[in-house]
Amino acid sequence: MYWSFILMINDQHNGANCIDFVSTHLTELALLYCQRISNCALSEVGKGCKNLQALHLVDCSSVGDDAISNIGRGCQNLKKLHIRRCYEVGNKGIIAVGEHCHSLTDLSLRFCDRVGDEALIAIGQGCSLQYLNVSGCIQIGDAGIVAIARGCPRLTQLDVSVLQNLGDMALVELGEGCPLLKDIVLSHCHQITDVGLSHLVKKCTMLKSCQAVYCPRITTAGVATVVSTCPNMKKLLVEKCKVSPRTRRRAGSIISYLCVEL
């Protein structure tokens, strides 16, 4: 029998005693807003929980690379890793995950601002992701996403919002390498243009959802290309001012799903 275990403690505990009792049968662990959970405590999970398949860390400000490295080395059955606002986690920990957790298919690293391209290069080389969210990881640029595009052909969902260093090269590579992509979030990516978006949508014909709000270099022409190229598109989130009358007519009965006024 295997367990899913969700632990929530407050800032008055260091977490070590709470984790001691977790057995080798643990398959899922969530540590939410546990600011006193230490690297040492989480490293014990890596040593003792060989069957761990899913780990969620939210606002665990004392958790860093040492803990994530030990998780990567010790929990090689890991399939899902979600980390949000853990500011001490950087490339070293995620590289260890890429090197050891070859079953990983679901990775979310939201607003982990020490994580950069080196981490994603290791993930692209070691894992075949189906889901990736790196929203707000401001050090990630084209090189990291290109590595994902080349190494993760089964990718279906991608969130790269708020990546100010991401450009058209990444979108071109995603188009070439990820034909199964169905859902992409590009919002607040200031460097991507109509050129990159066009390459992406012409290759990723299975796209159903695209969010591209506050992308100043995507224009009316880029929005028109998405509408005319993606037969399966159900939701296109853009500023209303970027939808021309012609595009509105072409979208026909689904225009209410394609255009949201912000």
> In this predicted model, what pLDDT tens digit does every residue of 115-135 receive, in sequence order?
999 999 999 999 999 999 999
Q: How far apart are CA 148 and CA 187, in angstroms?
A: 19
User: Is pLDDT at 93 greater than 60 in this prediction?
Assistant: yes
**Per-residue 3-state assignment (H helix, E strand, C coil) for the chain:** CCEEEEECCCCCCCCHHHHHCCCCCEEEEEEECCCCCCHHHHHHHHHHCCCCCEEEEECCCCCEHHHHHHHHHHCCCCCEEEEECCCECEHHHHHHHHHHCCCCCEEEEECCCECEHHHHHHHHHHCCCCEEECCCCCECEHHHHHHHHHHCCCCCEEECCCCCECCHHHHHHHHHHCCCCCEEECCCCCCCCHHHHHHHHHHCCCCCEEECCCCCCCCHHHHHHHHHHCCCCCEEECCHHHCCHHHHHHHHHHHHHHCCCC
Maximum mean pLDDT: which of 98-102, 209-213, 228-232: 98-102
pLDDT score at 21: 54
Q: What are 175-216's pLDDT values in tens digits?
A: 999 999 999 999 999 999 999 999 999 999 999 999 999 999
> From the centroid of its chain, how far is CA 149?
13
Q: With contact defined as beta carbons under 8 Å apart, do 129 and 153 qualify?
A: no
Q: What are 162-174's pLDDT values in tens digits?
A: 999 999 999 999 9
Q: How far apart are CA 184 and CA 141, in angstroms?
A: 16
Q: With contact defined as beta carbons under 8 Å apart, do 165 and 190 qualify?
A: no
pLDDT score at 25: 79
User: Is pLDDT at 83 greater than 70 in this prediction?
Assistant: yes
Nearest to 215 by CA among 241, 193, 245: 193
Q: How far apart are CA 167 and CA 94, in angstroms?
A: 23
Q: What are 17-72's pLDDT values in tens digits?
A: 555 555 567 999 999 998 888 899 899 999 999 999 999 999 999 999 999 999 99
> Tokens 């989130």 sit at which residue?
237
Sign of CA dihedral 4, 123, 83, 50: positive
User: Is pLDDT at 261 greater than 50 in this prediction?
Assistant: no
Nearest to 184 by CA among 131, 231, 143: 131
The tokens for 240 are 């209303």
User: Is pLDDT at 4 greater than 90 in this prediction?
Assistant: no
pLDDT score at 182: 98
pLDDT score at 216: 96
Phi-psi region of 243 (alpha: psi -120 to 50; beta: other; left: phi over 0): beta
Position 221: which residue type?
Answer: A
